[in-house]
Amino acid sequence: MVLSKNSPWEEMMPELAKNYANRYSYDYPHAAATRLQPVPDTIIKRKIITKKPVKKTSLVHRIISIAFVLLIGIFVLPISFNKVTSSFFHGGSPYPHIKVDYQQLRFPTADYLSNHYFLGERSLRGARVKKPLMSPIKEKDRMHGLETELKNLMNMYPAIHPSVYVWNYADGSFADVNADESFAAASIIKLPVLAHLFRSVELGQMTIYDEMTLTDYYRAEGSGSLQFKASNSKYSIDKLARMMITESDNSSTNMLMAQLGSMNDVNHGIREWGLKHTYVQTWLPDLGGTNRTTAREMARILYNIDNPDFLSVTSREKIFDYMGHVENNRLIKAGLGNGAVFLHKTGDIGKMLGDAGIVLTPNNKKYVVVILANRPHNSPQGKEFIVKASELIYNRMVY
């Protein structure tokens, strides 16, 4: 039996069934056989057209858009052309008495923060990461055990937020706890000032025997005895550098930075070394903590004091002589074993306490260690943490 389009059953079928019936005809010539015969596509091919909805724009919207364009064309463009564009094509300016400082627009911070000076203009440049003057520290295996011990110690001092970096000269192993986090440098910033000073000496820009005169302009409160010395007294560069490190003298630091060409020249040197996060922004004392560094970058400075491509042996011996006679021995030094030698520089501005240096152990081990600790103002817990961290590190490195 064949169900054709004229079959009375078609009227009784739902639409879906009708479509299916139109697609196939059913033929049952024998009771035991069933087969499907497709109807030719030419009969059933249909084209389905989907209309996209047309987005209508209101008349008010069109009027506002046209009015806005007309306002720009009538008022803004002519004024811009007459006062700006025409001056480029025809020369001159409708306001010749107004001078534009394009250098100030390009480098708005140059008046108070810069690190580069060229052709009479100051600017702020990034670090010299391609072929920096300082070699990067050659790190190898991470000391996971020491890092775990330091983190456990941190949990015992929740009010202290530290940054620790340790590097072993023997095998390049290192420990890193927040070592790339920016901290106030306090008086530890005097280490890059010292390194830049001796690089300037090696370049022939000055000698350590040159003298400077103490005036009220350089006097600075805080650490150091120079602030109490007589006006117009003279001091050699060597004496000022020694006071800067051993006494952490702020007045002598300011005198040396002035001799080097101010903070900008020091910053320029630091960028040439390849350091991104260490800079001087305030004359000492920097109680606000605007002079910044990281534990890793301070360790890199210490590491490169031994680098003959960065400093000569003569400069290195002089620097280590200063650093070996630092008067403050209550931080990392207090956590070292008997007979250990520590060449270092401390820093303290109340809210941040730190120490950075090179340890020489009695059994000929040598390592760089930097510990910076943010703390509640003048909290003794900062000192306690640094001493105990130093003990952990020393025991790991020696045994």
Assigned token pair, 186:
């306090």
Q: Which domains does the chain have, with CATH numbers?
A: 8-44 (no CATH), 56-95 (no CATH), 144-398 (3.40.710.10)
pLDDT of residue 93: 56
Q: Is residue 194 pLDDT above 80, yes or no?
A: yes
- Tokens (6 digits) for 77: 């463009």
Q: Which of 111-125, 245-259, 302-316 has the lowest mean pLDDT?
A: 111-125
The pLDDT of residue 386 is above 70: yes
Mean pLDDT, range 287-316, rounded to an integer: 97
pLDDT tens digits, 151-161: 999 999 999 99
Average pLDDT over residues 230-238: 97
Query: For residue range 22-56, what is the model confidence (pLDDT) as tens digits?
Result: 554 444 444 444 444 555 555 444 555 555 565 56
Structure tokens at 61: 């919207």
Residue 368: per-residue pLDDT:
98
Higher pLDDT, 27 or 150: 150
Q: What is the pLDDT of residue 70?
A: 80
- Annotate 177-208 with DSSP letters as a single string: ESTTS-EE-GGGGHHHHHHHHHHHHHTTS--T
C-alpha pair distances (Å), 333 with each of 24, 344, 355: 96, 9, 9
Q: How confident is the model at residue 240 (pLDDT cuts 50, 70, 90)?
A: very high
What rounded mean pLDDT belongs to the chain? 84
The model's pLDDT over 56-87, given as tens digits with 9 standing for 90+, comes to 667 888 888 888 888 777 766 666 666 655 55
65 or 321, greater pLDDT: 321
Vertex 359 angle, CA 278 and 243, to 5°: 60
Model pLDDT for residues 112-141, shown as the tens digit of each residue: 556 555 555 665 567 776 889 999 999 999
Q: What is the pLDDT of residue 50?
A: 54
